[in-house]
Chains A and B, each alone.
Chain A
Amino acid sequence: MLTEEAKKAIKEVMKRYKTKRAAVMPALTIAQDDVREVTAEDMLEIAEMLEIQPVIVNEVAKFYTMYNVQRKVGKYHIEVCHNISCNLLQAERIIAHIENRLNIKVGGTTTDGKFTLSTAECLGSCGTAPMMQINDTYYEDLTETKVNDILATLKSRD
């Protein structure tokens, strides 16, 4: 369900566009912001606010990979780039290392719900490969030691 704050933010962002429908992407981003998931209820509420059919919200949400549509991800969503520049610099080793450290496979979430591991196509940070994104933050020039430090820091947070 959208919070009052989210609804306010959506109303604000609608002013940027000529049509109400055009605000569907920012609205989905806002809906996802705090819980990292877009629920069916969220989509119904967005449809009502933008005066469009719920199916339109759903088809847009499903098209873009960054919306976790009815998909629960961990508190920290780790996305490791596995495209060419990162791959040339051993991204596969980084992915395997994270799998081992967290005891999950790509696509999986740790049992405590803290981490989800995914692979991502090019994140536009090729000059500092290999790299990964965790939620909104980029971590670049990765080594196995650096990954250990990052995971340890996140594990110590609640």
Chain B
Amino acid sequence: MKPILLKNQFNPEAYKVESYVAGGGYESLKKAFTMKPDDIIQLVKDSGLRGRGGAGFPTGLKWSFIPKDPTMQKYLACNADEGEPGTFKDRGIINNDPHLLIEGMTIASFAFGASVSYIYIRGEFVFGARRLEAAIAEAYEKGFLGENIMGSGFSHDMYVHCGAGAYICGEETALIDSLEGRRGTPRIKPPFPAIEGLNSKPTVINNVETLSTVPSIIKNGAKWFAGIGPEKCPGPKIYGVSGHVQKPGLYELPMGTPIREIIFNHAGGIKGGTFKAAIPGGITAPMLVEKDLDTRMDFDSLAAKQSMLGSGGVIVMNNSTCMVKVALITNRFFSHESCGKCTPCREGTTWITQILKRMEDGEGRPGDTAEIERLCGMIFGRTFCPLGDGATMAIRGNLAHFRDEFIYHEEHGRCKV
């Protein structure tokens, strides 16, 4: 497949507006202005594009929830708070092709009538934030942002907002809180952001990859897009492969490419041993093992395997990997990133991490594994946002395949591997 989203990954000049325009950039925006906003929404609906941030919600449908009242202030917030361990795809777009995102955001904003948009980028991406700021300034200068863009009558302002080290701000309502200058803690839904989001106004929150896909849909049409990959979740997808593989990196492939092909063909196979397990979509996604390797990497196929596509960040582990340690690192992360709003998540993830720490240190006690399982039951479904659920999904996914390693730690005080 000819890359769409990563076409400029190895072009060191692509971040400049002249280079982007020379490659046909902002032509989709021009084309979008010849269409009715509602027709753009319909086109995106027809394409079957589903959100690439992890939830897989149909993008066109999300846009259509925004009230049509033209006098009402509306916002677009681009979620660039890429923080799910194993995920590094949005950074690839931001650093190397920032105008692709800006063009996608401007088209989206035109479609549902947002006059202001924010790119919420994680604070650690200082390089990316500076690059976006520079690209936005260029876009203003060339008339792709600002007043009356390309004579269309549509005006739009775009700003970068830097986070400051909080994974939870990738959750859309926490992101809004953070954009309003608050602690990033999730809000109860409803009201959904499409009705009451930023500054209590209708707001769409879309991932970087999702928005960067939009210009190609405008250019090539819904049919073209729907023809790539599976019928129910088509399109190109960026898979990020990391861990024990020969060639870690970003691979843009048709949605639904089998995980075996991604790991063994594209990423060059296993490094330093044989395949043990892979986490398919960022650490929240339950693990896949050898027998699952023919699973297609799309939202529905992975859901059928009780896992999820999430961000498409594939973390590969070889046979030297201790799964208790993997569980410890994973839970330590969730415990560190829990915003503290809900007791089950805040206390539960901390407690599980303490148990895993002693197991890893050779001081596990009989019943520790069962205790972890009991605690998972007290977190799952009992929290405000999906962070707590995510923590339990990760550890349950691990235990489903490798419970014996946990018991071995309990009984012998050391690794089985």
Residues of A within 8 A of B163 (CB): 25, 64, 66
* B interface footprint on A14-39 (CB within 8 Å = 1, 0 otherwise): 00111101111110110000000000
Given known pairs A85-B242, A124-B124, A127-B241, the reply for A23 and B164 (CB within 8 Å) is no
Query: CB distance A88 to B315 under 8 Å?
Result: yes
Given known pairs A21-B180, A66-B164, A88-B244, the reply for A126 and B123 (CB within 8 Å) is no
Residues of A within 8 A of B85 (CB): 83-85, 121-122, 126
State A112–B114 Cα separation when bound (angstroms): 51
Residues of A within 8 A of B164 (CB): 25, 28-29, 64-67
Query: CB distance B182 to A122 under 8 Å?
Result: no
Query: CB distance B159 to A66 under 8 Å?
Result: no
Decide if B333 is an interface residue (CB 8 Å cutoff).
Answer: yes
Residues of B within 8 A of A29 (CB): 123, 162, 164
A59's contact among B122, B183, B199, by CB below 8 Å, is which?
B183
Number of A residues, CB within 8 Å of B: 41
Query: CB distance B124 to A133 under 8 Å?
Result: yes
State A17–B75 Cα separation when bound (angstroms): 12
Given known pairs A22-B180, A85-B315, the reply for A124 and B249 (CB within 8 Å) is no
Number of B residues, CB within 8 Å of A: 53
B294 to chain A, nearest CB (A): 23
* B interface footprint on A57-72 (CB within 8 Å = 1, 0 otherwise): 0011001111100000
Name the residue of chain B whose CB is nearest to the CB of A123. B124
Query: CB distance B124 to A22 under 8 Å?
Result: no
Query: CB distance B87 to A124 under 8 Å?
Result: yes
Query: CB distance A60 to B83 under 8 Å?
Result: no
Query: CB distance A129 to B242 under 8 Å?
Result: yes
Residues of A within 8 A of B244 (CB): 88-89
Query: CB distance B248 to A25 under 8 Å?
Result: no
Residues of B within 8 A of A16 (CB): 159, 161
A92 to chain B, nearest CB (A): 10
Given known pairs A60-B183, A127-B242, A127-B248, the reply for A26 and B162 (CB within 8 Å) is yes
Given known pairs A126-B86, A128-B248, A129-B248, the reply for A84 and B161 (CB within 8 Å) is no
Decide if A4 is an interface residue (CB 8 Å cutoff).
Answer: no
Query: CB distance A87 to B329 under 8 Å?
Result: yes
Query: CB distance B321 to A88 under 8 Å?
Result: yes
Query: CB distance A25 to B162 under 8 Å?
Result: yes
State A114–B227 Cα separation when bound (angstroms): 56
Query: CB distance B182 to A60 under 8 Å?
Result: yes
State A129–B337 Cα separation when bound (angstroms): 21
State A64–B181 Cα separation when bound (angstroms): 11
Query: CB distance A127 to B240 under 8 Å?
Result: yes
User: What residues of chain B have their CB less than 8 Å away from a CB belonging to chain A?
Assistant: 82-88, 90-91, 122-127, 159, 161-167, 178-184, 199, 240-244, 248-250, 279, 283, 313, 315, 317, 321, 325-326, 329-330, 333, 336-337, 339
